[in-house]
Structure 1
Amino acid sequence: MSSSNDKVLGVVFLTRHGDRQGFYQSPTNYAAARTAITPLGNVQELQLGQKLRSIYLNASSPSAIQGFNTTLADQNQIQVRADAGGEGGVIFDSAVSLLQGMFPATTSYNTTLANGTTVVGPLGGYQYVPVESVEPGNDISLEGWTSCSKFDEGTQAFYASEPFKQMAAEHADFLQQLGQYMDGRPVTFDNMWNIFDYMNVESIHDANFLKALPPTFLAQARALTNWHQYRTFSSPQIDGIGNIAGRAILPSILSGLTRISNSSDPLKMVYESISYKPFVSLFNMTGVAQQNPELEGFVNYAASLVFEVRQPSSGGPTLRFLFKNGTDDDDFKQYNFMGGSGDIPLSTFVDAMTPAAINSTTEWCQICNNNKDRGCGAIAAAMTVGAQSNHIHQRIGPVGSGFLGAGLTIVVIASMLGVLAFLGLLTVGKASKRKSKSLHSDHGSVEKA
């Protein structure tokens, strides 16, 4: 484990969005309906940003990031990405609020004109930190499970498993009791996420609902939902389909960690604003849930996971795993992970995670058996054109091939690159930018392969 004399080189941190309005997602494929963030959600994210600032951007903090500009946000030092998928603007708006807390308005954000006038930015020097809006239609990295038929098949297999059926049977009476509070929503065990989410939202925002709901019901529903969601978004094999949410986000995490550890690279902070699903997969893939069973489940609003890159007095950089489960935790807690104790060598983490990472949309399309959605159709068409080109080359004579082959190859390559570049499919992570307790059971578990 690293000593207290370690220097923090930088961080990669993930946060779940703040409190929002009602929400629904399909229990079969997790396609989501749009919703909206609430003022409470914005405040939660602002406060989380302030907490992170006090830890990493405060010169007197033992975890202050070395060489970080703590006064003004330096775009060379920070990279921000936000999921712009099924939950609408909730996740993007959460990122904006968090950044307000991390980089508050300052009169240092000013410019002096040629005539000697000094102009401070609007709203007292509000800092506009660029946020990359990650659109699932052309970037799979933050929503790896969406339109993934192999993931859907795994979910259905889980629902058909004996442990699932047994858990549903054991809690059938409780689910039946919940029916009167669900406002007509289906009260079945496969719909457990939507049951809990409705109860949670109403308990926060509807005083009459909170008063009518028996005091133990929300915690009971949370425990069942933790059991349900951990087994939906995890696999025993690190490259299993249940881990698809974690596998898709891994390349951006690994790239951030590697860049931060490189002293010649100015990047010091990578922030990804996401839904709860990647948290569940990453807790499983890193072994932190196995070593800390209380993390076998989904995370609260404004929860945050921090991968802290540290430089010991000797040896290579190390990695520390920190987590704060929303407002349930006052501070970040360090957790053991990767089967170890305390900090681990960064290289150990990178070597273990790299084989499971999904590094391109083409790879994702193959893994998910998708040939039409999220750019997979364009990739399949480009590959078909390439195959037809090769077939033509084989059928014409040597002289003719010198002319037709060259021309067709140019057309094919231009078409493929044009389509892939337009859709952002050549690499994962290209997208448009906009500024602006768990339930323990003795029945075992069924994991996705």
Structure 2
Amino acid sequence: MSPFTTLTVAVSLLLADLTNAERVLGAYIFQRHGDRTAKSWPPTKLTSLGYSQEYMTGEFFHDRYISANSSYKIDGISTDIVNLAQITASAPQDDVIDNSGVGFLQGLYPPVGSIATETLRNGSIVEVPLNGYQLIPMSDVQSGSGSEDNTWLQSTSSCGKAIVSSNNYFYSNSYESLFSDTRRLYQSLEPLVNETFSASELSYKNAYTVWDLLYVALIHNSTASFPSSTIINDTVMRELLVLANEHEFNLAYNSSDTIRAIAGMTLAGEVLTALNETITSGGKSKLNVQFGAYASFLSYFGLVELSATTVNFTGIPNYASSMAWELVTDDEGTEIPVTSDIRVRFLFHNGTSIEGSTQLQAYPLFGQSTVELPWAQFVEETKRTAILSQKEWCQACGNSTGICASSSGAGDNSSPNSSAGSCSGRGMSLGVAGVIGAMVTLGVLVGVLILSMIVFGLRFVPKSAVSGMRRGSDASIIPAMKTTVA
């Protein structure tokens, strides 16, 4: 054996030992839904292709985190039959996202066949339907409900200030410039999309929904229903995608007004809370999976400075894209080590994880040079922008009605441009509240006066100089803010 071969073998063995020394203590996955029908034609539905994408991505994560043969297997996680105490799955109330979650979880913990067979006391044998199909319940997350049936990115955020912030983009110089410069391009598409968009709607204002309609059509529609045309080609579709990326990223994140990234702020808080639970529970909680839409990806990319490193993180992620946060340690024990021995690694894959030769790839967060951060540093950096409680959310959004009605000080930091109350604008303005307060005070004073008259036998003495009492007019309710894109 040559010296070079000996050195190569030695290095390989050393790398294998280093790999084996690392333990994955837990993980959090944020998963985008699979292929769907166009947003312009609600109700939007998950396609068979989308279901398959999610199932295969679930299989990929099974092989990474669940399989007994994986070097990334989560410490102590059940490898065959799911232990529901170890895994938490969640999704908003949305048909596309919910069904994507079902497909993913089927791949994550596939049917177990006869392993799931039970023998009852009377000796009878019960076989689980569908070859041992495993049921993993999903809890609801508050934001994102109905997102795939709505074309407006902030439609389901319910965050008043975030809605105002995103709307401000439509008054920016960059928006006005793109709106003007791309007018001819969008108008040229009219023969292809005139059954969905009017001529006035064909503009950069609807950059995402126009691109989405054509993108879905090019995947699913037959030649008869969507004939080939010189109007649309790869070059035009790439241009439309670049414009859609620019449009949606600017609605999801702004470095000088971070409340626009409310989806990413909320996700950051959920990730931090879940990973902390893995540590504080001694590893009982091992894997969290949340399903959602692209807005959370874009706003999180901005918050953790990934978008500042490469333009790739300002684009809309493909269907079935994945983000993952892993808790790792080099501690050789079997328990959760002290936090100083724990690191966090962030990974991302654009699209179904089995597509192509690339899989999950690690990226540095918060402008750091390393892809792994000590737990304490990850906590400190995340807390700068994360939303960690309902009260924090209400205060950041300036909401004071609905779930925020009992949160004190929710509107203390409201700006003049923010919606007064809930995101739909149905809350009271300060002016209306002042009028109502004055009327309540007046009512109390009148009540005291009447009581005094009864007790002391007082009565009014009419005078000719008094012509009557003026009555105040009713205060009108502020109309709801329009949040849909025309």
TM-score (norm 1): 0.76
Give 1:264 deviation, angstroms: 1.6
Counterpart of 1:316 (choices 333, 341, 344) is 341
Match of 2:96 in 1: 90
Equivalent residue of 1:323, what SS? Answer: strand
Asked whether the equivalents of residues 73 and 103 of structure 1 are also in contact (C-alpha less than 8 Å), the reply is: yes
Give 1:312's aligned amino acid.
Answer: D
8 Å contact 1:81–1:134 — kept in the other structure? yes
Q: 1:11 to 1:220 in 2, by over 3 A?
A: same
- 2:324 matches 1:306: yes
State the match for 2:58 in structure 1.
49
The change in CA–CA distance for 1:194 and 1:137 in structure 2 (over 3 A counts) is closer
Q: 1:126 and 2:133 equivalent?
A: yes
User: Matched residues in 2 for 1:23 and 1:102: separation?
Assistant: 28
Of residues 272, 276, 286, the one that matches 1:268 is 286
Following superposition, the deviation at residue 378 of structure 1 comes to 6.4
* 1:211 and 2:228 matched: yes
Q: Which runs of 4+ in 1 moved over 6 A?
A: 380-384
1:298 aligned counterpart, secondary structure: coil
Aligned twin of 2:179: 168
Q: SS of the residue aligned with 1:211?
A: coil
- 1:78 offset after TM fit, Å? 0.2
Q: Match of 1:36, as an amino acid?
A: K
C-alpha change, 1:255 and 1:221, in structure 2 (3 Å) is same
Deviation, structure 1 residue 50: 0.5
2:85 and 2:154 map into 1 onto residues whose CA distance is: 26
Asked if the contact 1:292–1:335 (Cα under 8 Å) also holds between the matched residues in 2, the reply is no
| Sequence identity (%) | 28
Paired residue for 1:69, among 62, 75, 78?
A: 78
Alpha-carbon contact 1:291-1:337 (below 8 Å) kept: no
- Residues 1:16 and 2:32 aligned together: yes
Query: 1:113 pairs with 120, 131, 141, which one?
Result: 120
Q: Distance in 2 between matches of 1:36 and 1:263?
A: 38
Report the AA paired with residue 321 of structure 1. F
**Which is worse superposed, 353-362 or 283-292?**
353-362
Alignment of 1:289-304 (within 5 A): 289-304=307-322
Contact 1:324 1:331 in 2 (8 A): yes
2:242 equivalent in structure 1: 223
> Distance between the aligned counterparts of 2:172 and 2:49, measured in 1?
39
Distance in 2 (CA, whole Å) between partners of 1:10 and 1:50 is: 18
Structure-to-structure mapping, 1:23-38, within 5 angstroms: 23-24=39-40, 34-38=43-47
Distance 1:290 1:317 in 2: 27
Q: Deviations over 1:217-255 (max 9, x none)?
A: 222111111111111111215x71111111122222111
> Alpha-carbon deviations, 1:133-152, whole Å to 9, x = none?
335499x9x98962333222
Does the 8 Å CA contact 1:108/1:120 hold for their aligned counterparts?
no
Partner-residue secondary structure (3-state), 2:80: coil
Instruction: Provide the rounded CA distance (Å) in 2 between the counterparts of 1:9 and 1:220.
Output: 43
Match of 1:353 in 2: 382
Q: CA-atom RMSD, angstroms?
A: 3.1
Distance 1:190 1:382 in 2: 32
Q: Find the aligned partners of 2:410 and 2:258 in 1 and give their Cα distance.
A: 28
Which blocks of at least 5 consecutive residues in structure 1 are unaligned?
A: 26-32, 396-449
Q: Retained in 2: the 8 A contact 1:280–1:296?
A: yes
Aligned position for 2:169: 158
Cα distance change of structure 1 residues 229 and 37 upon mapping to structure 2, 3 Å threshold: same
Shifted more, 359-368 versus 50-59: the winner is: 359-368
Pairs aligned (count): 373
**Equivalent residue, structure 2, for 1:80:** 89
Contact 1:202 1:210 in 2 (8 A): no
What SS does the aligned partner of 1:319 have?
strand
Paired position in structure 2 for 1:325? 350
* Closer, same or farther: CA 284–377 of 1 in aligned 2, 3 Å: same
* Equivalent of 1:196 in 193, 211, 221: 211
- Select the structure with the greater relative contact order (CA < 8 A; seq sep ≥ 6): 1
Tell me if structure 2 keeps the 8 A contact 1:83–1:143.
Answer: no
Q: Secondary structure at 2:115's aligned position in 1?
A: coil
Output one character per residue of 1:276-332: Cα deviation in whole Å (capped at 9) or x when no partner: 111111111112222232111221111110111111248521111111111465421
1:176 Cα deviation after fit: 2.2
Mapped contact 1:99–1:129 kept (Cα < 8 A): yes
- Tell me the distance in 1 between the aligned counterparts of 2:409 and 2:365: 42
